[in-house]
């Protein structure tokens, strides 16, 4: 167990270091001189030098990276070029909104995916399976920047039930959560189906069936609890769909989270903020994944024994 | 082709229309002020947009954008990913370790976040979209090619070829890649769908094609502003995008089913 | 087992929810297309901030319908050509700390702006002030460096309390004026809450970026009023809603196409003339702008006392334009290539795209570059453009001509961003400034505007209309021709049914 924990932790640390380096390098991809792009070509010489100094762009690249990581360790993500406030405080201000939306979307996707996946698994190869998997495929095929406006048209405009956008209480969270949750539900329902089918092939399920228990009972009380573990792990891995999708969904619904902050910063060419947002989103994704992995390994003895490659 | 049903037909229509559509004598940038936001009618099938430009023409132009971007990005990604993946698995050792780490790092960016950041930093434009999506796209193929190669590299025919002193390049090209091409093809099919959505997404965010060029994503973004008065501006490109992506995904599913039959047979045989 | 994760999640979500918005709110909610940037009147330059500052602060003078300056907080006497005495009116507002506005506050406000190191953007327009001397609580003297008959018209800055005048950081976020409204809260850029002093009525400014969403929020009653910044189609759509009322009014905000007069191409008068004849302004107005938008031929509207009355407008004549370009050697095969910059605001991009197409028809290939507002404005201010479009908002006094067209006003001294250098224009500006007689001065400015129309450093486009759309339980809001929000001083809201 300790060995697993240590290898997992060390590889996580390496990945995080790689992510930081990659995000750090982003600013060097700006075509031309980043200072020119940010300030405009005719900016005062003094301003340009001040910014170059503040961003540390006048030092060797290795040294810049070390400073960058050093600052990160102190929670310093730099300063916004636009509002002149610290990037970390801007991100902290927006983080709760994204977290709320992600959690509600997760709930929504579970509410859609579990029934779909179970129905499909129960009726493997039959019409219901095809319908459920068709719905799931449709879900994967509708991008959230299309689903969002469509939902607004239907629920805010035609039916007038829900607010259009912005963040004002629970009602305003419904549409973005559905938009974001659907994409996840589509992937999740397929995983639930295949995991269930795998479990249903196990011996103890056959035994239970042989004892004369009804199929539905067997699935819900025997197969599903045993399938929960892999499903929860998959859920952790799919958090990426949620976090990545949040960028576009938040833009569609003017949801004041990190995703919208990222896009706003890109349009304002506020690169330190872009870097900070991308870094935060990716690192939280990496950490959540590492945790699910470790917990999974801890619970599941099969993994505890052997090392996975 | 019979296996692929209507999804195959839709894709055929998509590719045909994208290319043939460019031969039509329609200027997709022709502005006609009196037609602004006109709804579809019998003469003008899909109506007009916010500048009085024909939506049909722009839809076809957007279709070509999707086609070109998705095939370019997937081709680049498959080639790069396969080379890196097979080489690293075959070589093993330090090379493999480094490639695996790099793959892990790229996979740490959820969804199209890295592509958004890259496209945002490189600046808007369809060429930068292709670059950004390729930078993100190769990873999946590399991972797949590596895993497949690992499972194949101790097969008898590979070992035999090694024993005979066949060159590494030849072994990879002749003995490994043909065997892993099936799963790569399936992955590439889903890759096409993903890139179509990603390109549209970047264009929706304003990071993709620049006006007056057309993309389904930018059409949806512009159309959403007139959602109240001219819903066809969102619905038309939206439906097109959805149907094409759905068909590509269906095709991928079918392909997987067909290939899965094979692997099942193999499983049963040993 | 199945339900547990969902159950835990829903409890968590329930706990994490913050206050919900009140659907039957009694506060009057006003939708904004952009959020105010600074509520310190000494720094505010954007239109939204200035309009909100009019509600929060009082100012010495204001303008009437013909843009003649009139007393607001104070009346004045000209004791000598360079000496003005202002007497504050007995009815004056109170600051938050309970103190009444006095002449000392006026002095503190203007002294602060004149201090170089405070870097107020309004300093340059007030440099004419030599010194300010308080006579008593209600009387204050302004001494000028030179004679300027337009002078009292410059004193439009909101007065801040003297004890806070030095505290820039506080005033920027927590305004403290003596106007009809007091400041309540400004938690983030999306929401600003003011309270009307007379009846404690709350007014909320809600920033909603997207035009469609603003319109939808109005229809759904999430906001009560919105003013301007909506495409014509959406305005027409709102007009069909039963519970929405519309009002519109001709405006005087001037939209134009500006040129770089130092550029190899756009410095050529013939090219600018060809462009002027190639743009179909009438159609643009008819198909894109609100019904009361007027064609413009000069920066000031004709009803302004210094406005150009009978202008010889450039007609839409693509054939003429084409032949002018041909005589310069530009044809369809060898087109003139120009770069046109605009902000990334969708409506501005839409207009620019149409202009691009109209120019294309006479053989000018225009590459359109749209940038976020900050980048765009930065480029324009520093002269990095061939051609761009922009508006002058809230122009009241003809000193704008020195600021925009005098050869001494090239940035950073002024806003002659296209580097228009013309001796005759300079002379007319100077003659108008020194002329003691009002009607002669008006004539000089008219001559100047005729000269500008001939030289075309700007191609005048139009004066956009102002409109307000409001729910039918709102009454008493009147529009102003400069688009200010003063109507909020009298607006009423009936409880919603």
Indicate whether C62 and C108 sit together in one domain: yes
Indicate whether C234 and C268 sit together in one domain: no
- The predicted pLDDT at position A301 comes to 57
d(CA B153, CA B176): 8
Neighbour-count burial for C349-378, b at 16+ CB within 10 Å, e otherwise: bbbbbbbbbbbbebbbebebbbbbebbbeb
Which parts of C78-210 fold into alpha helices (H)? 103-114, 123-126, 168-173
d(CA A298, CA B75): 41
A25-52 average pLDDT score: 69
Chain B: give the shortest CA distance to residue C373, in Å. 15
Per-residue pLDDT reduced to its tens digit, A49-73: 777 777 777 778 888 888 888 888 8
Q: What is the DSSP letter of A156?
A: I
In a domain, C381, yes or no: yes
Residue B24 tokens read as 């039509």
Our CA angle for C278, C284, C290, nearest 5°, is: 155
Q: Which of residues 70-129 of B touch C (CB under 8 A)?
A: none
Q: Which of residues 117-156 of A touch B (CB under 8 A)?
A: 137-138, 140-143, 145-146, 149-150, 152-153
- The predicted pLDDT at position B240 comes to 94
- The predicted pLDDT at position C365 comes to 93
Q: Which residue of A has its CA nearest to C190?
A: A166
| 3-class secondary-structure state, position C192 | strand
Chain A: give the shortest CA distance to residue B206, in Å. 9
Indicate whether C261 and C245 sit together in one domain: no
Residue C267 tokens read as 């410095």
Per-residue pLDDT reduced to its tens digit, C43-64: 887 889 999 999 999 999 999 8
In a domain, C189, yes or no: no
Chains touching A, CB cut-off 8 Å, 3+ pairs: B, C
Average pLDDT, chain B: 86
- The predicted pLDDT at position B160 comes to 86
Task: Confirm if C221 and C43 have CB atoms less than 8 A apart.
Answer: no
Is residue A201 within 8 angstroms of chain B, CB to CB? no
**CA C375 to chain CA centroid, nearest Å:** 19
Q: How many CB atoms lie within 10 A of CB C216?
A: 23
What residues are paired with A246 via a beta bridge? none
Interface size A-C, in CB pairs within 8 Å, comes to: 84
Interface size A-B, in CB pairs within 8 Å, comes to: 133
Indicate whether C444 and C324 sit together in one domain: yes
B54-74 average pLDDT score: 93
Indicate whether C309 and C216 sit together in one domain: no
Indicate whether C341 and C245 sit together in one domain: no
Q: To probe the interface with A, which of C119, C222, C243 has the most A CB atoms within 10 Å?
A: C222
CA-closest candidate to residue B234, choices B225, B223, B242: B223
- The predicted pLDDT at position C316 comes to 95
Q: What is the DSSP letter of C159?
A: P
C236 to B230: CB separation less than 8 angstroms, yes or no: no
Three-state SS annotation for A257-302: CHHHHHHHHHHCCCHHHHHHHHHHHHHHHHHHHHHHHHHHHHHCHH
CA-closest candidate to residue C476, choices C247, C276, C218, C154: C247
Q: How many CB atoms lie within 10 A of CB A149?
A: 25
Asked if the model's pLDDT at residue B23 lies above 90, the reply is: no
- The predicted pLDDT at position A38 comes to 65
Chunked into runs of 10 residues, chain C (497 residues) has average pLDDT values of 37 37 74 88 87 94 88 93 93 88 94 87 86 94 89 92 84 86 88 93 91 87 91 91 93 94 94 96 92 93 90 92 94 90 88 93 90 81 90 88 91 87 94 86 94 95 94 93 92 80
**CA A251 to chain CA centroid, nearest Å:** 15
Q: How far is residue C95 from each of residues B54, B134, C183, C243, measured CA to CA in Å?
A: 58, 61, 11, 38
d(CA B248, CA C417): 53
What residues of A are in contact with residue B223 (Cβ under 8 Å)? Answer: 149
d(CA C315, CA B218): 35
Nearest to C354 among B31, B224, B230 (CB): B31
Which parts of C300-367 fold into alpha helices (H)? 318-327, 346-361
Q: What burial class does residue C220 get, using C-beta atoms within 10 Å of its C-beta: 0-12 exposed, 13-18 middle, 19+ buried?
A: middle
Domain chopping of chain A, boundaries = 2-73, 88-308
Indicate the pairing of strand C28-32 with strand C202-207. parallel
| 3-class secondary-structure state, position A60 | coil
Task: Confirm if C140 and C107 have CB atoms less than 8 A apart.
Answer: yes
Indicate the pairing of strand C129-136 with strand C139-144. antiparallel
Indicate whether C260 and C351 sit together in one domain: yes
Chains touching B, CB cut-off 8 Å, 3+ pairs: A, C
Task: Confirm if B46 and B56 have CB atoms less than 8 A apart.
Answer: yes
Q: How many CB atoms lie within 10 A of CB C309?
A: 11
Is the ipTM, as predicted for this complex, more than 0.90? no
Task: Look at the alpha carbons of C89, C94, C95, C99 in this order and tell me if their dihedral is positive or negative.
Answer: positive
- The predicted pLDDT at position C29 comes to 95
d(CA B26, CA C84): 68
d(CA C53, CA C62): 14
Nearest to B50 among C210, C283, C350 (CB): C350
Indicate whether C422 and C300 sit together in one domain: yes
Average pLDDT, chain C: 88
Q: What burial class does residue C470 get, using C-beta atoms within 10 Å of its C-beta: 0-12 exposed, 13-18 middle, 19+ buried?
A: buried
Residue A58 tokens read as 């006048």
Q: What is the CATH number of the domain that holds C315?
A: 3.10.105.10
C1 to A160: CB separation less than 8 angstroms, yes or no: no
- The predicted pLDDT at position A40 comes to 56
Task: Confirm if C220 and C434 have CB atoms less than 8 A apart.
Answer: no
A294-303 average pLDDT score: 67
* Residue partners of A166: CB distance under 8 A and separation at least 6: A172, A253, A254, A255, A256, C190, C208, C213
Q: Which of residues 238-257 of B touch A (CB under 8 A)?
A: 238, 241-242, 245-246, 249-250, 253
- The predicted pLDDT at position C381 comes to 83
CA-closest candidate to residue C120, choices C179, C47, C40, C195: C40
Asked if the model's pLDDT at residue B132 lies above 50, the reply is: yes
C19 to A100: CB separation less than 8 angstroms, yes or no: no
Indicate whether C285 and C426 sit together in one domain: yes
Say whether the peptide bond before residue C192 is cis (omega within 30 degrees of 0).
no
> pTM value?
0.84
Q: Which of residues 8-27 of A touch B (CB under 8 A)?
A: 11, 14-16, 18-19, 22-23, 26-27
Q: Which residue of A has its CA nearest to B231?
A: A153
B25-37 average pLDDT score: 81
| 3-class secondary-structure state, position B109 | coil
Residue C95, domain extent: 47-168
What residues are paired with C341 via a beta bridge? C369, C388
Q: How far is residue B146 from each of residues B90, B152, B178, measured CA to CA in Å?
A: 8, 10, 14
Q: How far is residue C354 from each of residues B47, C274, C458, measured CA to CA in Å?
A: 18, 16, 18
Indicate whether C288 and C412 sit together in one domain: yes
In a domain, C128, yes or no: yes
Q: What is the CA radius of gyration of chain A?
A: 24
Indicate the CATH number for domain A88-308: 1.10.3720.10
Neighbour-count burial for C280-304, b at 16+ CB within 10 Å, e otherwise: bbeebbebbbbeebbebbbbbbeeb
Indicate whether C222 and C364 sit together in one domain: no
Chain A: give the shortest CA distance to residue B221, in Å. 8
Task: Look at the alpha carbons of A81, A83, A85, A87 in this order and tell me if their dihedral is positive or negative.
Answer: negative
Asked if the model's pLDDT at residue A168 lies above 80, the reply is: no
C378 to A40: CB separation less than 8 angstroms, yes or no: yes
* Number of independent structural domains in chain C: 3
d(CA C127, CA B249): 69
Per-residue pLDDT reduced to its tens digit, A235-260: 777 777 788 788 899 988 888 899 99
Indicate whether C213 and C296 sit together in one domain: no
d(CA C462, CA C291): 12
What residues are paired with C181 via a beta bridge? C196
d(CA C130, CA B91): 82
Task: Confirm if C73 and C139 have CB atoms less than 8 A apart.
Answer: no
CATH number of B47-261: 3.20.20.80, 1.10.287.1080, 1.10.3720.10, 2.40.50.140?
A: 1.10.3720.10
What residues are paired with C143 via a beta bridge? C83, C131
Indicate the pairing of strand C202-207 with strand C191-196. antiparallel
Task: Confirm if A77 and A91 have CB atoms less than 8 A apart.
Answer: yes
Structure confidence at residue B84 as a pLDDT band (50, 70, 90): very high
- The predicted pLDDT at position C204 comes to 95
Our CA angle for A211, A214, A216, nearest 5°, is: 135
CA-closest candidate to residue B256, choices B199, B174, B187: B187
Task: Confirm if C78 and C150 have CB atoms less than 8 A apart.
Answer: no
- The predicted pLDDT at position C9 comes to 38
d(CA C489, CA C201): 10
Residue B124 tokens read as 């808007």
Residue A7 tokens read as 């290898």
Residue C263 tokens read as 């550029």
């Amino acid at each position: 167990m300790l060995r697993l924990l240590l290898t997992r932790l060390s590889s996580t640390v390496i990945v995080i270091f790689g992510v930081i380096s990659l995000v750090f390098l982003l600013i060097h991809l700006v075509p031309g001189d980043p200072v020119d792009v940010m300030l405009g070509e005719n900016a005062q010489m003094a301003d340009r030098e001040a910014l170059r100094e503040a961003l540390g762009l006048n030092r060797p690249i290795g040294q810049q990276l070390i400073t960058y990581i050093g600052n990160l360790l102190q929670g310093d993500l730099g300063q916004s070029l636009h509002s002149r406030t610290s990037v970390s405080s801007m991100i902290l201000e927006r983080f709760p909104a994204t977290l709320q939306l992600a959690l509600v979307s997760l709930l929504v996707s579970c509410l859609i995916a579990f029934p779909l996946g179970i129905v499909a698994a129960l009726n493997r190869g039959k019409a219901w399976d095809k319908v459920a998997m068709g719905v799931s495929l449709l879900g994967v095929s509708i991008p959230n920047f299309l689903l969002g406006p469509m939902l607004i048209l239907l629920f805010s405009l035609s039916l007038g039930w829900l607010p259009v956008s912005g963040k004002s209480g629970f009602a305003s969270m419904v549409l973005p959560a559905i938009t974001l949750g659907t994409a996840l539900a589509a992937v999740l329902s397929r995983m639930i189906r295949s995991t269930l089918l795998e479990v249903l092939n196990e011996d103890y399920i056959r035994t239970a069936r042989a004892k004369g228990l009804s199929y539905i009972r067997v699935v819900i009380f025997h197969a599903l609890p045993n399938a929960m573990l892999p499903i929860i792990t998959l859920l952790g891995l799919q958090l990426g769909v949620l976090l990545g999708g949040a960028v576009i969904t938040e833009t569609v619904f003017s949801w004041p989270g990190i995703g919208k902050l990222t896009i706003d910063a890109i349009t304002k060419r506020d690169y330190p903020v872009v870097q900070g947002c991308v870094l935060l989103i990716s690192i939280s994704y990496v950490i959540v994944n590492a945790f699910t992995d470790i917990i999974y390994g801890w619970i599941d003895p099969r993994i505890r024994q052997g090392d996975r490659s | 082709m019979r296996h692929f049903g209507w999804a195959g037909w839709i894709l055929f229509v998509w590719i045909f229309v994208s290319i043939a559509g460019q031969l039509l004598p329609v200027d997709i940038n022709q502005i006609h002020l009196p037609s602004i936001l006109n709804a579809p009618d019998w003469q003008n099938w899909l109506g007009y947009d916010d500048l009085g430009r024909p939506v049909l023409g722009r839809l076809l132009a957007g279709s070509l954008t999707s086609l070109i971007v998705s095939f370019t990005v997937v081709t680049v990604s498959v080639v790069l990913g396969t080379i890196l993946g097979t080489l690293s698995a075959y070589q093993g050792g330090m090379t493999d370790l480094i490639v695996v780490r790099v793959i892990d790092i790229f996979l740490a960016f959820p969804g199209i976040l890295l592509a958004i950041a890259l496209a945002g930093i490189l600046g808007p434009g369809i060429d930068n979209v292709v670059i950004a999506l390729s930078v993100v796209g190769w990873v999946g193929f590399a991972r797949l090619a590596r895993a497949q190669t690992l499972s194949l590299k101790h097969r008898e025919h590979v070992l035999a070829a090694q024993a005979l002193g066949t060159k590494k390049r030849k072994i990879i090209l002749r003995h490994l890649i043909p065997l892993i091409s099936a799963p790569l093809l399936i992955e590439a099919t889903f890759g096409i769908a993903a890139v179509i959505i990603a390109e549209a997404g970047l264009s929706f965010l304003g990071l993709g094609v620049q006006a007056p060029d057309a993309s389904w994503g930018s059409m949806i973004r512009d159309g959403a502003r007139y959602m109240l008065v001219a819903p066809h501006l969102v619905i038309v490109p939206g439906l097109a995008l959805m149907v094409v992506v759905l068909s590509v995904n269906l095709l991928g599913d079918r392909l997987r089913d067909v290939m899965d039959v094979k692997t099942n047979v193999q499983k049963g045989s040993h | 087992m199945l339900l547990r994760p969902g159950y835990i999640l829903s409890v968590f979500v329930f706990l994490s929810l913050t206050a919900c918005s009140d659907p039957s709110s009694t506060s009057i909610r006003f939708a904004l297309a952009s959020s105010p940037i600074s509520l310190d009147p000494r720094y505010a330059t954007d239109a939204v901030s200035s309009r909100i500052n009019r509600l929060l602060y009082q100012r010495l003078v204001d303008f009437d319908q013909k843009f003649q300056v009139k007393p607001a907080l104070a009346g004045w006497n000209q004791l000598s050509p360079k000496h003005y005495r202002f007497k504050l009116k007995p009815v004056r507002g109170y600051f938050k700390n309970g103190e009444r506005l006095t002449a000392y506050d006026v002095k503190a406000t203007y002294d602060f702006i004149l201090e170089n190191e405070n870097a107020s953007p309004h300093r340059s327009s007030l440099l004419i002030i030599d010194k300010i001397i308080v006579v008593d609580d209600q009387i204050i003297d302004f001494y000028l460096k030179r004679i300027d008959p337009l002078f009292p018209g410059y004193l439009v800055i909101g007065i801040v309390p003297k004890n806070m005048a030095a505290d820039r950081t506080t005033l920027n976020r927590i305004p403290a004026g003596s106007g009809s409204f007091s400041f309540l809260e400004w938690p983030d850029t999306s929401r600003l809450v003011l309270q009307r002093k007379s009846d404690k009525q709350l007014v909320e400014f809600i920033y909603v970026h997207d035009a469609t969403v603003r319109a939808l929020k109005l229809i759904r009653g999430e906001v009560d009023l919105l003013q301007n910044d909506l495409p014509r189609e959406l305005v027409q759509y709102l007009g069909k809603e039963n519970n929405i009322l519309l009002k519109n009014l001709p405006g005087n905000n001037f939209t134009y196409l500006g040129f770089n007069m130092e550029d190899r191409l756009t410095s050529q008068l013939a090219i600018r003339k060809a462009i002027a004849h190639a743009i179909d302004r009438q159609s643009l107005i008819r198909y894109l702008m609100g019904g009361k938008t007027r064609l413009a031929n000069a920066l000031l509207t004709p009803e302004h006392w210094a406005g150009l009355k009978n202008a010889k407008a450039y007609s839409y004549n693509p054939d003429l334009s084409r032949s002018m370009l041909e005589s310069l050697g530009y044809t369809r095969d060898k087109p003139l290539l120009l770069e046109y910059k605009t902000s990334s605001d969708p409506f501005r991009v839409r207009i620019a795209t149409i202009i691009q197409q109209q120019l294309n028809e006479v053989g000018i290939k225009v590459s359109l570059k749209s940038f976020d507002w900050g980048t765009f404005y930065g480029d324009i201010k520093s002269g990095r453009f061939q051609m761009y479009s922009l508006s002058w908002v809230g122009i009241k006094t003809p000193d704008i001509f020195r600021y925009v067209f005098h050869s001494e006003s090239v940035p950073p001294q002024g806003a002659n961003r296209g580097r228009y250098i013309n001796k005759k224009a300079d002379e007319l500006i100077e003659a108008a400034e020194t002329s003691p007689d009002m009607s002669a001065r008006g004539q000089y400015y008219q001559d100047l505007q005729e000269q500008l129309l001939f030289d075309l450093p700007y191609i005048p486009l139009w004066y956009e209309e102002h409109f307000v759309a409001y729910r039918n339980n709102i009454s008493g809001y009147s529009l102003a021709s400069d688009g200010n929000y003063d109507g909020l001083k009298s607006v009423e809201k009936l409880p919603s049914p």
